[in-house]
Structure 1
């Protein structure tokens, strides 16, 4: 009797553990794992098991905001005996277009074991979501030209995810920073490239949209040479690109659009309905918790330090 009472208080109660096959996954990949329930000191009735995928974003002032992307019901009611171990298979196909794990973005699965008449058990498992292979081929091509990713590259502002590099060889002294957004398409990779160029005490932004075929992306040397040619041409013909102020189509904003789909991070605009971006652009004003449905989804600390990842301005 005493053991049953203590189990209801959470002492000697059943515990849940999500065991994943690996810690890193590509967008659209199927996550495989096993949910293990370890029985406690007494027989207990379980109402259900559900696994939730959470996205965590850290603002430039260090505040942490989380949003539940989905909840996956896994197991219906069952009874577990004292010290019994039950394993349940878990599979989930990740959505396309998620922001990748970089800069101010991280993810975790939260596994919730609902115990009838007792204290529920939870398990948290961090995962990294990676970009498709063509994206990393592009980064390698930049690296071969002497460009290095800046600390905090891959920042996500609620609508889009932007990657930032600085020159250490090619264009050093001519370009302060190279930024790009990426969209994965069926036939290759499309990017919105921006060169930030110093000009008479101010910074000029040169933007152009570029498509790279799969054949080119599979040959990193050729890709690097193509990138070199494109960036040098952009600088030499700066007047053609200085006012080219377009963005990937995010929805729920007033930017000019390039009409591109499949942007990395584009999925999140639909998830948040634009609310996250509005809050971030307003310096995480008071009431942001209500925008995410209450404070339940807000967690202190997190997987990344609170660094200044967000830019200072937004294109009009």
Structure 2
């Protein structure tokens, strides 16, 4: 018995954990449902707590440059203390709310290059090695986010990549310690004005702050510089707006001399109506509190169907893996094993 306790302290013959998600596909503001399945080891185990959390890969700046690390940004206690008997099988259900500001990882079934996301399960075992599990999570855009991404594609912008930057955007209310940047190469009609555009969504239950950062080209007597624009849209705007026209207007306004105001709170274009509620494509969970009338079919703006633009431009990009903070602290050792590296959770210097 003493030998078994010694082995258990080193993780040999201890309990095993396997978390199973009902559906790994989700959206900001929804929830992830699943079960934490435990099997007891060779000896009784005193479980101190079980916690699940979302982890992703975040870029940070330091005095020596930029580096990436794994961060857990949202967690939920699943269970308190209890004793797990030898070989006992236990299944604990949970429902983890997905924060509204959770970054997008997938568009039309394609992983955005540079994005990673996973659900980490941590089982704290008294006087023994803690156990953990990691499951891939796919975060799909909300309808209004999807329409805006599609509009960039229809305007001719080419997807470059996406990443998460640690920090806060001035003048924008954030609840998470990082923000997502979705990068595009300039469309031909903008190529003489800008090199690239970075798009950021900061989402809340009421709507979305859209932040544009344009890398503006220099002129004969002026140097190139970044210009910013900030716009507000409601979730209910998704199906009542010509988003190509709206995004084109945003870009023109941002790159004009008004863009030099650097995100001073430009309002949303006027005339947005309040359409019926929106739903989700088949196979994905629906947004709570809204009707489900089939987001994923043609929307009637100028006769275009959704899914052709953005879906096409990310399909050709190298697919990212899954990727990766609690209370803003980096947890480099939060994920382990070859599968974590395959998903893109490894930190690196740049």
Q: TM-score range by the shorter chain?
A: 0.5 to 0.7
Partners of 1:113 and 1:7 lie apart in 2 by 14
Counterpart for residue 36 of structure 1: 37
Partners of 1:306 and 1:4 lie apart in 2 by 35
Compare relative contact order (CA 8 Å, sep 6+) and give the higher one, 1 or 2. Answer: 2
Partners of 2:45 and 2:254 lie apart in 1 by 68
Runs of 5+ unmatched residues, structure 1: 247-256, 261-268, 273-291, 310-316
- 1:137 paired with 2:154, answer no
1:121-136 mapped onto 2 (5 Å cutoff): 121-136=131-146
Which string of whole-angstrom CA distances, capped at 9 and with x for unpartnered residues, describes residues 230-266 of structure 1? Answer: 535666xx33x252122xxxxxxxxxx5399xxxxxx
Counterpart for residue 46 of structure 1: 47
Partners of 2:166 and 2:113 lie apart in 1 by 11
Greater fraction helix = 1
Partners of 2:235 and 2:331 lie apart in 1 by 44
Correspondent of 1:94 among 93, 98, 102: 98
How far is the alpha carbon of 1:46 from its aligned partner?
Answer: 3.0
Which string of whole-angstrom CA distances, capped at 9 and with x for unpartnered residues, describes residues 3-60 of structure 1? Answer: 4553344222211122112333222221111011112234444333233443431347
Counterpart for residue 243 of structure 1: 260
CA contact (8 A) 1:204 1:242 kept: no
Residues 305 and 224 (structure 1), Cα distance of their counterparts in 2 relative to 1, 3 Å cut: farther
CA contact (8 A) 2:71 2:331 kept: no
Counterpart for residue 158 of structure 2: 148
SS of residue in 2 equivalent to 1:135: helix
CA contact (8 A) 2:24 2:138 kept: yes
- 1:209 paired with 2:194, answer no
Partners of 1:270 and 1:48 lie apart in 2 by 16
Correspondent of 1:181 among 200, 209, 226: 200
Partners of 1:140 and 1:26 lie apart in 2 by 17
Residues 81 and 211 (structure 1), Cα distance of their counterparts in 2 relative to 1, 3 Å cut: closer
Partners of 1:104 and 1:158 lie apart in 2 by 18
Which string of whole-angstrom CA distances, capped at 9 and with x for unpartnered residues, describes residues 106-156 of structure 1? Answer: 4433322233443332222343444422112101011011111213x3442
How far is the alpha carbon of 1:91 from its aligned partner?
Answer: 1.5
Partners of 1:167 and 1:258 lie apart in 2 by 23
1:1-316 mapped onto 2 (5 Å cutoff): 1=1, 3=4, 5-59=6-60, 63-101=67-105, 106-151=116-161, 153-159=162-168, 160-184=179-203, 188-198=207-217, 199-200=219-220, 202-212=223-233, 217-218=238-239, 222-232=242-252, 238-239=256-257, 241-246=258-263, 257-258=264-265, 271-272=327-328, 292=329, 303=344
SS of residue in 2 equivalent to 1:202: coil
SS of residue in 2 equivalent to 1:243: helix
Number of residues paired by the alignment? Answer: 267
Runs of 5+ unmatched residues, structure 2: 106-111, 169-178, 268-324
Partners of 1:209 and 1:242 lie apart in 2 by 9
CA contact (8 A) 1:137 1:217 kept: yes
TM-score, with structure 2 as normaliser = 0.61
More displaced, 292-301 or 100-109? Answer: 292-301
